Structures are given as structure tokens and as C-alpha cells.
Amino acid sequence: MKENQRQEPSEDYFHLEDLAMKTAAQYFGEELLHYLGVEQKVIAIVPTESVHLEARKMFQDFNYELEDGTWLHLEFESDPIQVADLKRFREYEAATSRTYQVPVITCVICTARVRHIRSELTEGLNTYRVKTVHLKEKDADVIFDGLYEKIEKRKALTKDDLLPMLLSPLMGGIMPNKERIRESIVILNKSGAEVDREELIKMQAVLYALANKLLDDMDLQEIKEVMAMTRLGQMLIDDGIEKGIEKGIEKGIEKGIEKGVKQGQDRVNTLNVKLAEAGRTDDIIRASNDKQYQQILFEEFGI
């Protein structure tokens, strides 16, 4: 297909990308929040869309239910937090709390290079606060130096080695974010890390989600091309792509979707939504490769 004839990404592309993002959300909540100072255990992923009285949808980054019943609203900000941001977060909290009848705490991961991070907003009688996490004082270069040293000595990388690496795009250091994400993908793909295939895919999904949050379109396209060679990329290909990837996941999905893939897609989408709402992301991945198990899930949810 010539460049001037390029089509927009299909519905199937957005479905597969959504699967990767849901996988990232689950793994981030299960494994990485404690690195950000959240001591309570996540027990479920909860909705991130609230319908305002004006029928205006408000899209949040991640929402989690904690073990005490509180919801944790997690936001990523690459720019300094402004008054307008705090008003937006306050609106998210109010709408979510009222819709789902739960207390909500907002935690903002700020990657801006600033000394002071705005975390409070006082208007009238009320002061609104968010919890801020700023990892710029941590040096990502030191983390990668330690990983390279272990790899050079042919030592297997453990889960404890890899988890801080996943958060490296949020830290300080000289290495640009695009290179941190690229190097992390390469390390996961070639290091022989002591994690199983399923967990490896979840780690790759976290990097993909952070790339979507932190990189511009040009850098993101380069990361997609690298991601296409990983197990996560292969999983997306196997779920609906006929040909190999030529210019990254998006291009491959656009050119390789089989003619009959749309048949029954609404049914599959409905199942994936129900599984995601139940926090059963592993079942989404298994069902995409096991049609018999997918049929069992259809019957379980009455779809």
C-alpha cells in the first residue's frame, strides 16, 4: 500500500492495543505501586470512565480498589502540575466518588524536572490535596548500569532487578526516555530473566503503556517497531494478524487482519470487557489463544 493510500487503524487494532493497556494496568497495580509508596494491596482494577451530568466522559489513567475499600486514582503528568490540573483531578474524584459511592484518593506521578510540585488547591472554605510521587531524584542510569553489569557477568536477572527498570522512564538521569524504554524492551527480550512468559508479557505491557503516556508520536512509533519483536508483540500478531509486521504493530495490524476477523468481534469484545472489569486479565490472554476456553467463558458470562 502506498503512503498516500494509508488507511486509519482498524477497530481490531484499537481492541488489541486496549488489551495491552489493560494488561499493563493490572501488572502496574499488582507489582509496582509499592515502589511509589502505596502500602495497601490492590484487590481489583476499577472503572476509569465517569459520565458527568452534562453527559461528558472523563477519562482517567488508572483506578484501583485498595484493601480498605478506598479507590486509588493514579494519574501521570509530564508537565508541572498547574491549578487547572488540580481542578480536573478534583472533578474526577467527585464524579467517581458520587457514581460508585466510594472514597477516592488521587496520586499523581509527575515526571517534570521541577523542584516544587504543586499538590494543594484552596478555594473558599476547602483545601483539595493530591498525593504526589516524584522519582526524578532517582537516577535511571545507575539502574541500567547495574543491569548491564549483571548481563555482562552472565548472571540471570531477577524480578527484583527488573521492577525498578520498568519505572525508569519516570526517573532522572541522562538517558532519554525513548532509549530507556527501548533498552528495557531489549533487556526483557534477551536477558534470560528469571520470570515466566506470562509475567514477561505483563512487564512489556507496562513499558508499552508508559511509552503511550510519555513519548511523542514519532518516538512512540519507533518503540512500536521494537515492541513488535517481543512476546507481547507476537501475542498481538497471533490474535489477529496474517502477515509479519513491516513498520511496527500498528502497520502490521492494519495490513494483516484477516477478512473474517470482524465476525463475532462484538461477542469477544463483550467478553473482554467483563473479564477486565473482574480483574481477570490472564483469562483475556488465555482465551485469545484457546478457543475452547473462550467458549467456556462465553457460557460462564451468558454471552
- Express each pLDDT in 234-245 by its tens digit: 666 555 444 444
Query: Largest alpha-carbon pair distance within the chain?
Result: 61
In a domain, 31, yes or no: no
In a domain, 243, yes or no: yes
CA Rg, the chain, in Å? 20
Residue 103 has pLDDT above 90, yes or no: yes
116 SS3 class: coil
pLDDT digits (tens, 9 = 90+) for 107-125: 998 877 777 889 999 998 9
Residue 133 φ then ψ, to 5°: -125, 125
Clarify whether residues 13 and 89 are in a common domain.
no
Q: What is the mean pLDDT of residues 125-149?
A: 90
**How many whole angstroms separate alpha carbon 144 and alpha carbon 153?**
14
In a domain, 1, yes or no: yes
138 SS3 class: strand
Residue 3 has pLDDT above 70, yes or no: no
In a domain, 229, yes or no: yes
Residue linked to cell 457460557: 299
At 26, list the grid cell: 493490572
Clarify whether residues 8 and 65 are in a common domain.
no
Clarify whether residues 169 and 102 are in a common domain.
no
In a domain, 27, yes or no: no
Last residue of a domain, one of 223, 243, 258: 258
In a domain, 109, yes or no: yes
DSSP state of 30: I
pLDDT digits (tens, 9 = 90+) for 45-92: 887 766 554 545 567 788 899 999 999 998 888 788 999 999 999 999
**How many whole angstroms separate alpha carbon 289 and alpha carbon 271?**
14
Clarify whether residues 254 and 287 are in a common domain.
no
Residue 266 has pLDDT above 70, yes or no: no
Per-residue pLDDT, 69: 92
Give the residue from 148, 149, 218, 146 showing the smallest Cα distance to 177. Answer: 218
DSSP state of 260: T
**How many whole angstroms separate alpha carbon 260 and alpha carbon 51?**
34
Clarify whether residues 7 and 143 are in a common domain.
yes
Per-residue pLDDT, 273: 77
**How many whole angstroms separate alpha carbon 273 and alpha carbon 109?**
27
Last residue of a domain, one of 133, 158, 182: 133
Give the residue from 63, 17, 18 showing the smallest Cα distance to 44. Answer: 63
What's the CATH number where 68 sits? Answer: 3.40.1350
Q: What is the mean pLDDT of residues 299-303?
A: 82
- Cα 54 to Cα 48, 57, 58, 93, distances in angstroms: 17, 9, 11, 16
Residue 253 has pLDDT above 50, yes or no: no
- Cα 110 to Cα 84, 131, 170, 178, distances in angstroms: 15, 10, 8, 17
Clarify whether residues 144 and 252 are in a common domain.
yes
Domains identified in the chain, total number: 3
pLDDT digits (tens, 9 = 90+) for 174-223: 999 999 999 998 888 775 667 787 888 888 888 888 888 888 888 888 88
Per-residue pLDDT, 191: 56
In a domain, 29, yes or no: no
- Please give the residue range of the domain that contains residue 281: 264-303
Clarify whether residues 192 and 157 are in a common domain.
yes
Contact 35, 164 (CB under 8 A): yes
Per-residue pLDDT, 237: 53
Clarify whether residues 100 and 238 are in a common domain.
no
* Per-residue pLDDT band at 1 (split at 50, 70, 90): very low
Clarify whether residues 247 and 146 are in a common domain.
yes
In a domain, 207, yes or no: yes
The pTM (predicted TM-score) of the whole model is 0.55
**How many whole angstroms separate alpha carbon 39 and alpha carbon 221?**
35
Beta strand residue intervals within the chain, DSSP E: 42-45, 49-51, 57-59, 62-66, 71-77, 104-110, 120-123, 126-129, 131-133, 135-139, 171-172
Last residue of a domain, one of 133, 154, 186: 133
